[in-house]
Amino acid sequence: MRVDILTREYPPHIYGGAGVHVTELAAVLREHVDVRVRAFDGPRDEPGVTGYDALGGGVGDASLDVLAHNLPMAKDCGGADLVHSHTWYANMAGHLAARLHGIPHVLSAHSLEPMRPWKAEQLGGGYRVSSWIEKTAYEGADGIIAVSDGMRKDVLRSYPEVDPGKVHVVHNGIDVDAWAAPATDEARAHADAVVAEHGIDPDRPAIVFVGRITRQKGLPYFLKAVERLPQDVQVVLCAGAPDTKEIAAEVSGAVATLQETRDGIVWIERMLPRADLVAVLDACTTFVCPSVYEPLGIVNLEAMAVGLPVVATATGGIPEVVVDGEIGTLVEIDQEQDGTGTPRDPEAFVSDLAAALTAMVSDVDRAKAMGEAGRRRAAESFSWEAIGERTLSVYRSILG
């Protein structure tokens, strides 16, 4: 079986969870089938991977230049038994490849455009283009893989024309060994140097956030919650790649205000290599995921693999990962159902988030026990070997 995986992100160009997912999935599938990866951002040296620039150099519009990548990707899928696309950036390549070459198209639902209306801030009219691409691809797909049961429900609610029998749930995975806390003397020395470089005090309680600066990640709500935390608590923000100038300014202003009133606010704006990020996570007491929209939240799995408890919003697919009271704390949220996920009572959400974080960092033994339970859960339920086999089962069922 030959499977062509179509994606915007692939090493060395990864900026989000979907890129991590594609990288790990391709690696585990290669052990069973012939995998060809087709990605954006120009040529690659890796065997079996083709990187594309925009056809004709593109037209200078972000949404239309997605199509300028998709057209040559679709053309090159001839000879594949099945195409598997990831995110709206590559969905049209899969849709067109299926029709051009007469092969099935499977797509993975990592997020949904109707659930992210704030993207209109970033894309303008391009948001209507991305929404059209996604809708067309979903309604025409032979199979849809949702990364959580919550995402499956969102797919069927957003696209009622989709046959429910075509939507399968296969969770994201995690390589727990790759995300293990430093264990050797060499790894420990490297980790200590990284922590010192960023000014993190390993002897103080610390809360760490990892994610892009985008509305769905809920970072502004977390920064408001920080105002209510005990003064000895550090806050480490691994946050960059803002969607818009507006949210970048909002976050920058909130961080600056916090830094005027308390110490221990560490903001790392660049994407860290995995070993460095593991070091930062390992130096902290708990991980926070304040998202208002999160299909699953691979960052939670990464934190769990390192051994951190998780304080997260009870939304989307997060409750399928974070077991409340066992490996962390879920913070309830009453949300608008207009696609924005905006808290109906922001004050209550911020207050509850602050209380949950304060409780977690105030009981180090409890936090450590939850972190250990989280690592076990990540290893037992979210291994890439299991996710790869479930994905292959979807392929086989579609191919008959």
The whole-number average pLDDT for the span 201-215 is 95
Contact between residue 148 and residue 167 where contact means Cβ atoms under 8 Å apart: no
Phi, psi of 82 (to 5 degrees): -160, 145
Are 9 and 19 in contact by the 8 Å Cβ rule? The answer is yes
The closest of 321, 388, 323, 316 to 145, measured between CA atoms, is 388
Average pLDDT, integer, range 379-398: 94
pLDDT of residue 23: 95
Q: What tens digit of pLDDT does each residue of 152-195 get?
A: 999 999 999 999 999 999 998 999 999 999 999 999 999 999 99
Whether the per-residue pLDDT at 295 is higher than 90: the answer is no
Task: With cut-offs at 50, 70 and 90, classify the pLDDT of residue 311.
Answer: very high
Mean pLDDT of 329-358: 94
pLDDT > 90 fraction of the chain, expressed in percent and rounded: 87
Task: List pLDDT tens digits, range 47-69.
Answer: 999 999 999 999 999 999 999 99
Reported confidence tier of residue 16, pLDDT bands at 50, 70, 90: confident
For residue 198, give Cα distances in angstroms to 116, 140, 269, 273, 283: 33, 48, 11, 14, 11
Rounded CA-CA distance 111/95 in Å is: 17
Whole-angstrom distance, CA of residue 376 vs CA of residue 384: 14
Specify the pTM.
0.83
Q: What is the pLDDT of residue 123?
A: 78
Instruction: Give the residue with greater pLDDT, 294 vs 307.
Output: 307
Give 199's Cβ-side CA count (13 Å radius): 10
Q: Note whether 105 and 28 are within 8 A (CB).
A: no
Instruction: List own/partner pairs for 190-197 with CB under 8 A and 24 or more apart.
Output: 190/275, 190/279, 191/275, 191/278, 191/279, 191/282, 191/283, 192/279, 194/275, 194/276, 194/279, 194/280, 195/279, 195/280, 195/283
In the predicted structure, residue 15 carries a pLDDT above the cut 90? no
**pLDDT above 70 covers what percent of the chain?**
100
Q: Give CA separation, 346 vs 152, 224, 239, in Å.
A: 27, 10, 22
pLDDT tens digits, residue range 222-249? 999 999 999 999 999 999 988 888 899 9
The confidence score (pLDDT) of residue 365 equals: 96
Residue 331 main-chain phi, psi, to 5 deg = -100, 120
Segment holding 7, helix H or strand E: strand 2-7
Stronger pLDDT, 102 or 386, i.e. the higher one: 102
In this predicted model, which residue has the larger pLDDT, 110 or 90?
90
Amino acid 159: pLDDT? 97
Q: What is the pLDDT of residue 124?
A: 82
pLDDT at 77 over 90: yes
Average pLDDT, the chain: 95
